[in-house]
Amino acid sequence: MEFERSSKGALDLNMLARLCYFSNGVTKVIRGMPFRAAACTGALYHIELYLVCADLGDLEAGVYHFGAHDNALRQLRSGDFRALLDVSGQSAPVYIVLTSTWWRNAWKYRARAYRHAFWDSGTVLANLLGVAAGQGVPARVQVGFSDPDVNRLVDVDPSMEGAIAVVEVGTEGPPPPAPPDVVSLDLPTRRLSAQQVDYPEIVHAHLESSLPSPEAARGWRAKFTPSVAAPNRQPIEDVIIRRGSTRRFSQTAITAAQLESMLLRTTAPISTDVFVASDLYLVVNAVEDLASGTYVYERATHQLHQLRVGDFRREAAYLDLGQELAGDAAVNVYWLVDLAEIDDRGYRAAQLSAAIEAGQLYLAAYAEALGATGLTFFDDEVTAFFSPHAAGKSVMFLTAVGRPAPKRAAPL
């Protein structure tokens, strides 16, 4: 898709279209199957984008839904509702709300779909933040927001669809006025499937970690030090277009320089109100000039510290639910965190922080002309495998990286 040219840093309708398209738009269609810009568990695409904005030239103030199928915004409400999202007092001209529709993922992954809501939001956010930085548009992720206000504003039933994150886009917007009344839209909806199974664990987990008001959100956020990203001036749109999810790795080695570059990009600071830093554990299968084995990555020094030496391809495949992908990959990167040190809302932040970094690793791999894919795993076995160093920690995410295998020839 081609976009009209916008001035660097200008926040106009064209720039918003660019941000939405390269974060959650349909970028390719393969054999009739549409694929979006960011990776999603099972290609089920349960993450939705809503925009809340002030008057922006050709776009009047209101609440909009982004349609991935046609890259279009549809107005849900008219008026300036930003005050309901302005928890930080930044008066951003635009807020982007990410939600997850539970059943669109849970029909396949059951209650575990709750974790996928954060994993898949994170990959979308990695794209959005990267494109915004490349275009000179400030963007900052809110993890701490008033759940009832946001859900009511975009008119979703939290038992079916819930807000996962809010992104402040742009700076120095006009001060938000008192918002209009928020009434139910009563819009017609289409059933997702003939039958639906309820997974109350999802709804309960989201409710228990919700913040009931802007005051509660500000109080929770005050316990953390905000993270501020360094500017990224390298355009990534071409990388996003090339990005996919690798289905086969070749077992050939990548270079140590490639691994170093990817880890630096993965752990680059993220602009957000709350960031929970996971510990990165690696299974190295094939990296030139680096012994095969297990490692932990030191964020402060950007150094790898070896835990064990050996060929762990079979163990890596087992930890990835017995799939060959992790065994064939050059490197497997795991994000682990000690959940005992954080509260329920902090669990959301930990999942989302790891997922955004995983999204950054995705993009870094494709920038290096490599492949990557996000994988699921046996939680307790991963912790045990990296113990005693990882004792007491829980896995947030797993990404495998390597050289893609040649595509198999189609049968005659």
The CATH number of the domain where 178 resides is what? 3.40.109.10
What's the pLDDT at 293? 98
Dihedral sign, Cα of residue 280, residue 281, residue 283, residue 289: positive
Q: Do 405 and 249 touch, CB atoms closer than 8 A?
A: yes
Identify whether residues 345 and 388 lie together within a single domain.
yes
Q: How far apart are CA 115 and CA 109, in angstroms?
A: 10
Identify whether residues 258 and 149 lie together within a single domain.
no
Identify whether residues 202 and 344 lie together within a single domain.
no
What's the pLDDT at 106? 97
Cα separations (Å) of 6 from 15, 21, 65, 111, 406?
Answer: 7, 15, 22, 43, 39
Identify whether residues 328 and 369 lie together within a single domain.
yes
| Residue 105 forms part of a structural domain | yes
Of all helices (H) and strands (E), which one includes residue 403?
none
What is the residue type of 411?
P
What is the residue type of 2?
E
Give the CA-trace dihedral at 23, 26, 31, 32, to 10 degrees.
150
Identify whether residues 254 and 357 lie together within a single domain.
yes
Identify whether residues 112 and 216 lie together within a single domain.
yes
Q: In a 10 Å sphere around its CB, with 0-12 CB exposed, 13-18 middle and 19+ buried, how is residue 2 labelled? A: exposed
| Residue 336 forms part of a structural domain | yes
Identify whether residues 216 and 309 lie together within a single domain.
no
Q: In what order do the strands lie in the sheet with 293-298?
A: 303-309, 293-298, 279-284, 331-337, 394-402, 371-374
Q: How far apart are CA 115 and CA 106, in angstroms?
A: 10
Identify whether residues 255 and 186 lie together within a single domain.
no
What's the pLDDT at 232? 53
Q: Which of 164, 186, 221 is the last residue of a domain?
A: 221
| Residue 238 forms part of a structural domain | no
Q: Do 379 and 323 touch, CB atoms closer than 8 A?
A: no
Identify whether residues 334 and 262 lie together within a single domain.
yes
Q: Which of 221, 253, 272 is the last residue of a domain?
A: 221
Q: Which of 187, 221, 255 is the last residue of a domain?
A: 221
What's the pLDDT at 327? 97
172's tokens: 């120095």
Q: How far apart are CA 350 and CA 276, in angstroms?
A: 5
∠ CA 124-127-130, rounded to 5°? 145
Cα 103 vs. chain centroid, distance in angstroms? 19
| Residue 228 forms part of a structural domain | no
What's the pLDDT at 310? 97
- Which residue range forms the structural domain that includes residue 382? 245-402
Identify whether residues 67 and 197 lie together within a single domain.
yes
What are the 10-residue block averages of pLDDT along the chain, 412 residues in total?
A: 64 93 94 92 96 94 96 96 89 96 96 97 97 94 97 97 97 88 92 92 97 95 82 71 88 97 96 96 98 97 97 97 95 97 96 98 95 96 98 98 81 48
167's tokens: 């992104």
| Residue 410 forms part of a structural domain | no
Q: Do 163 and 196 touch, CB atoms closer than 8 A?
A: no
371's tokens: 């492949």
Q: In a 10 Å sphere around its CB, with 0-12 CB exposed, 13-18 middle and 19+ buried, how is residue 309 labelled? A: exposed
| Residue 5 forms part of a structural domain | no
Identify whether residues 154 and 252 lie together within a single domain.
no
Number of domains in the chain: 2
Identify which of 405, 406, 410, 384 has the alpha carbon closest to the alpha carbon of residue 395: 384
Q: In a 10 Å sphere around its CB, with 0-12 CB exposed, 13-18 middle and 19+ buried, how is residue 258 labelled? A: buried
Identify whether residues 32 and 89 lie together within a single domain.
yes
For residue 129, the cross-strand partners are none
Identify which of 234, 285, 237 has the alpha carbon closest to the alpha carbon of residue 261: 234
| Residue 394 forms part of a structural domain | yes
Beta strands in 11-145 (DSSP E): 26-30, 33-36, 47-53, 62-67, 72-78, 94-101, 139-142
| Residue 235 forms part of a structural domain | no
